[in-house]
């Protein structure tokens, strides 16, 4: 019988020089906000500071077509940053928007209830609010019939719930955010070849 001497791991921790780096970010920062100082953005210089996708998202609110003043623009940008960087994911520090993007990255139509069966009702409301944000970003869409009516199914709580369909931009956003390696694989459809 061989005896292996192992050090107690607590003893190792006491004798190590390892120190975590200070100011290490604890949450994932969206690529659209990683270099952005919102306090520097005004309605006059927003095109200089914002990413093209953010410019497109805010320019309808800028005069002459919109009524935003600089404080309004900054509040709006802060709200968007909150959607893209606030986190409930303690492991990876992902924003709720990115969690939903990753969940739907298999490109399958589904409901929030089906994708997150364990979350409570108030959490589902938050997820649906972020899903609405992703719809405005053209990353998700609500499934509709040929007449434009929403297609719904009966969810876990026996209520009609909306079906969300992921769009290709969802995958592009994950790749731009450096999360491409976490994208779920999309199963290939086997074609029947008759000979």
Q: Contact 73/42 with Cβ under 8 angstroms?
A: yes
Structural Rg of the chain based on CA atoms: 22
pLDDT of residue 122: 78
pLDDT digits (tens, 9 = 90+) for 42-79: 999 999 999 888 898 899 999 998 899 999 999 999 88
Residue with tokens 């009966």: 154
Question: Rounded CA gap, 132 and 164, in Å?
Answer: 10
Under the banding of pLDDT at 50, 70 and 90, the label for residue 6 is: very low
pLDDT digits (tens, 9 = 90+) for 140-161: 999 999 999 999 998 777 888 8
Question: Rounded CA gap, 189 and 187, in Å?
Answer: 6
Q: What is the CATH number of domain 99-177?
A: 1.10.10
**In whole numbers, what is the pLDDT of the chain averaged over residues?**
79
pLDDT of residue 13: 45
- Enumerate the CATH 1.10.10 domain ranges in the chain, comma separated: 99-177
* Residue 10 Rama label (left phi>0; alpha psi -120 to 50; beta): alpha
CA distances from 120 to 35, 84, 127 (A): 35, 21, 11
Question: Rounded CA gap, 183 and 173, in Å?
Answer: 11
């Amino acid at each position: 019988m061989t005896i292996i001497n192992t050090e107690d791991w607590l003893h190792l921790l006491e004798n190590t020089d390892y120190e975590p780096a200070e100011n290490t970010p604890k949450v994932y920062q969206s690529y659209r906000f990683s270099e952005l100082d919102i306090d520097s953005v005004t309605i006059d210089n927003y095109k200089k500071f914002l990413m093209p996708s953010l410019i497109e998202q805010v320019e309808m609110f800028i005069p002459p077509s919109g009524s935003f003043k600089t404080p309004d623009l900054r509040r709006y940008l802060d709200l968007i940053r909150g959607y893209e960087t606030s986190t409930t994911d303690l492991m990876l520090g992902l924003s709720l928007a990115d969690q939903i993007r990753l969940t739907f990255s298999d490109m399958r139509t589904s409901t929030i209830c089906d994708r997150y069966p364990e979350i409570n009702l108030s959490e589902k409301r938050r997820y649906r609010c972020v899903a609405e944000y992703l719809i405005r970003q053209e990353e998700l869409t609500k499934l509709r019939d040929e007449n434009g009516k929403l297609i719904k199914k009966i969810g876990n709580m026996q209520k009609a719930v909306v079906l969300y369909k992921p769009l290709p931009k969802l995958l592009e956003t994950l790749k731009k955010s450096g999360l491409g390696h976490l994208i779920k694989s999309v199963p290939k459809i086997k074609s029947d070849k008759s000979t």
